Amino acid sequence: MKHSLDLFEQPVPVLRAPEADDAGRIADLADGFASGEAYAPQGDLMSNAAFRDTSVVAELEGELVGGVTAYRLPYDPQTLFIWHADVAETARDQGLSSLMMGYLMRQEACVGVTRVQTAIAPMDERAWTLFRHFARWQRSHMEIQMFITQALTPFAQHETDHLVTILLQDARLVEPDQIPTVVPIAHTPAQANPI
């Protein structure tokens, strides 16, 4: 008989910046595409040096099971745009997307980011759920507006995507070069407190 605590033992995901050789595995995470060919640009973007610092992948027991691709808008560097977030079917419903978002927001590349944006299709319930949770975690709300409409893509069957903006309450506004350096003080017997 197993101990009840064994039921709660789960492998701990390793979160890290994507590497160039992750591109194919990242592309394979896309829903409904066994070969990943339709999302090949997704993997290429994430492994690109310009996206690497603002993207994250998750591995469980050596297998890549999740990824978030994001970048700071060049014309508005206070905005982090989440291009894509996906988790392998075997790792869904365990909070991995939220874990990756939290990891991403704590990276040095996200210092100074005051808002997060993404585009979400109306029927993408997983994305809506992720960003609702993220907004709650940030003690904020989602501002939603029309983004890509059928009128903009008349020759493609495309749902109207919504632009979702979340203002960050806990934004790290200090730029990396302004972060104070803590210098440890050497402990000497003269500094010791008598007991």
CATH number, domain with residue 74: 3.40.630.30
Q: Is residue 73 part of a domain?
A: yes
Question: How would residue 155 be classed by pLDDT, with cut points 50, 70 and 90?
Answer: low
- What kind and span of H or E run contains 116? strand 115-120
Residue 145 CB neighbour total at 10 angstroms: 8
- C-alpha angle 74-75-80 in degrees, rounded to nearest 5: 60
d(CA 44, CA 49): 10
Is 189 within the bounds of a domain? no
Structural domain range at position 40: 11-171
Q: Is-above-0.85 flag for pTM? A: no
In a domain, 70, yes or no: yes
Please state, rounded to an integer, the average pLDDT across all residues of the chain.
Answer: 76
Q: Is 23 among the domain residues?
A: yes
pLDDT tens-digit map of 66-75: 999 899 999 9
Number of folded domains that form the chain: 1
3, part of any domain: no
